[in-house]
C-alpha cells in the first residue's frame, strides 16, 4: 500500500462532462491517488451512463443523475457518485439512498465566486462590456454608459454561507449598506438580517448566494419583483432556478429591474459549457435575455480560478480515497434529510 493510506491497486473512475481545464489537476493527482480516470466529454444521463466503468463516477452540475440514470449506473456496478461541485440538486437522492454514496465538494473557493459576483456588478453598473465593444469599433462616445456610485447603496445578500460572507466582505470595502437573509442567520458585523420582503423593498442591488432547494425554487418571481425598488440590480452566481426567468425577463423589459448579471440560467443544462455560436438557439427566453442591453450573461464560470480547480480536484480525490479505503463514514457525504 502507498504512503498516506492510498489504494493497493489502481481504481477505475469514470469522469463525465470533461473540459480541458478539468483535466489539468485531476491528471496531476491521478497517479498519486492510484486512480485510472476514464474521461468522457458527454454529460452524464441515462444514455451515457452505459459508458461507466468501475465503481466510481465523477459528475458535475449539469449532469442529469435522475432515477433512470442512477439505475443504469447501479446495474453497471457503480456505488459512489463523486460530485465535483458543491451543489447536488441534480441528483435523485431518494433513489440514491441505500444504493450509492453521494459525495461532494462543499467549498472550493468562496472568494472565486464572490469576486466574480462583484465583477459582474461593476460591469453592468459601469457598462464595461458595452464600452469595450464600442472602443473596438473606434466609438468613443460616453452616451448611455452612466452608472452610479456603489458607496452608500444598499445591497441585499440572500444566503450568508462562505460565499455570501466573502461577497459581504467585498461590499463592505465599497462602503455599501448590507441587508441579509438566511434561514440560519449568523453574527456578522455591520450586517442587518431582515425578512425577504423587507430586503426586496430596500435593496438597490440583490445578490443570490443560496443553494437551490424546494423552498428556494423561484425565490425571485413576479410577486418578489413587484416588491422591489424601481431599477434594482439582480446578481445570480448561484443556481439558475432561484429566479423565474420569464418573470425576470418581464421585469427587465419594463425596467422595473434596472439590470441583471446572470452566471446561471434555469434551463442552462442544454447550453452552458458548449459552443452554439453557429446554431440557432430555440430557447426564446434565453435568446431574449442575452439580447437585452441591461443583461450580462456568462456561462456558469464564477468558480473558474486555478485555486478553485485545484481544490475541486483534491477534495474529489480525497472523497474517493475515503470510499476506496473502505471507510464507513465520509467527510463530505450528502444524505437525504
Contact status, residue 184 vs residue 174, Cβ threshold 8 Å:
no
Annotated active-site residue in 84, 177, 209, 300: 300
Determine the Cα–Cα distance for residues 100 and 96; give it in Å rounded to an integer: 5
Q: Is 239 a catalytic residue?
A: yes
Distance of CA 281 to the CA centre of its chain: 22
Q: Give the DSSP letter string of 147-196.
A: ----TT-EEEEE--SHHHHHHHHHHHHTT-EEEEE-SS----TTEEE--H
Cβ burial of 210 (10 Å; 0-12, 13-18, 19+) is: buried
Annotated active-site residue in 55, 84, 101, 268: 268
Contact status, residue 185 vs residue 171, Cβ threshold 8 Å:
no
Annotated active-site residue in 239, 266, 321, 322: 239
Q: Is 79 a catalytic residue?
A: no
The grid cell for 282 is 430555440
Contact status, residue 78 vs residue 54, Cβ threshold 8 Å:
yes
Q: Is 300 a catalytic residue?
A: yes
Cβ burial of 24 (10 Å; 0-12, 13-18, 19+) is: middle
210: left (phi over 0), alpha (psi -120 to 50) or beta: beta
**Active centre residues (catalytic):** 239, 268, 300
Amino acid at each position: 500500500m502507498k504512503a498516506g493510506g492510498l489504494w493497493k491497486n489502481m481504481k477505475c473512475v469514470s469522469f463525465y462532462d470533461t473540459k480541458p481545464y478539468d483535466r489539468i489537476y485531476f491528471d496531476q493527482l491521478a497517479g498519486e491517488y492510484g486512480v485510472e480516470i476514464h474521461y468522457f466529454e458527454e454529460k452524464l444521463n441515462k444514455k451515457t451512463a452505459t459508458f461507466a466503468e468501475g465503481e466510481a463516477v465523477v459528475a458535475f452540475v449539469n449532469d442529469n443523475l435522475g432515477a433512470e440514470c442512477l439505475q443504469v449506473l447501479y446495474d453497471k456496478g457503480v456505488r459512489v457518485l463523486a460530485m465535483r461541485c458543491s451543489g447536488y440538486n441534480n441528483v435523485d437522492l431518494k433513489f440514491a439512498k441505500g444504493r450509492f454514496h453521494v459525495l461532494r465538494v462543499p467549498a472550493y473557493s468562496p472568494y472565486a465566486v464572490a469576486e466574480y459576483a462583484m465583477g459582474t456588478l461593476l460591469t453592468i453598473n459601469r457598462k464595461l462590456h458595452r464600452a469595450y465593444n464600442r472602443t473596438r469599433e473606434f466609438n468613443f462616445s460616453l452616451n448611455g454608459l452612466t452608472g452610479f456610485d456603489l458607496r452608500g447603496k444598499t445591497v441585499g445578500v440572500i444566503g450568508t454561507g462562505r460565499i455570501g460572507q466573502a461577497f459581504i466582505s467585498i461590499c463592505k470595502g465599497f462602503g455599501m449598506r448590507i441587508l441579509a437573509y438566511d434561514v440560519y442567520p449568523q453574527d456578522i458585523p455591520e450586517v442587518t438580517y431582515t425578512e425577504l420582503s423587507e430586503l426586496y423593498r430596500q435593496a438597490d442591488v440583490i445578490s443570490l448566494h443560496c443553494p437551490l432547494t424546494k423552498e428556494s425554487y423561484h425565490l425571485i418571481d413576479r410577486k418578489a419583483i413587484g416588491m422591489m425598488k424601481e431599477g434594482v440590480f439582480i446578481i445570480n452566481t448561484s443556481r439558475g432556478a432561484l429566479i423565474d426567468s420569464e418573470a425576470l425577463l418581464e421585469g427587465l423589459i419594463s425596467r422595473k429591474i434596472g439590470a441583471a448579471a446572470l452566471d446561471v440560467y434555469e434551463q442552462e443544462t442544454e447550453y452552458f459549457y458548449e459552443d452554439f455560436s453557429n446554431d440557432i438557439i430555440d430557447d426564446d427566453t434565453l435568446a431574449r435575455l442575452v439580447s437585452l442591453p441591461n443583461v450580462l450573461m456568462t456561462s456558469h464560470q464564477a468558480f473558474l480560478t486555478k485555486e478553485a480547480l485545484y481544490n475541486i480536484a483534491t477534495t474529489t480525490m480525497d472523497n474517493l480515497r475515503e470510499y476506496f479505503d473502505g471507510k464507513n463514514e465520509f467527510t463530505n457525504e450528502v444524505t437525504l434529510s
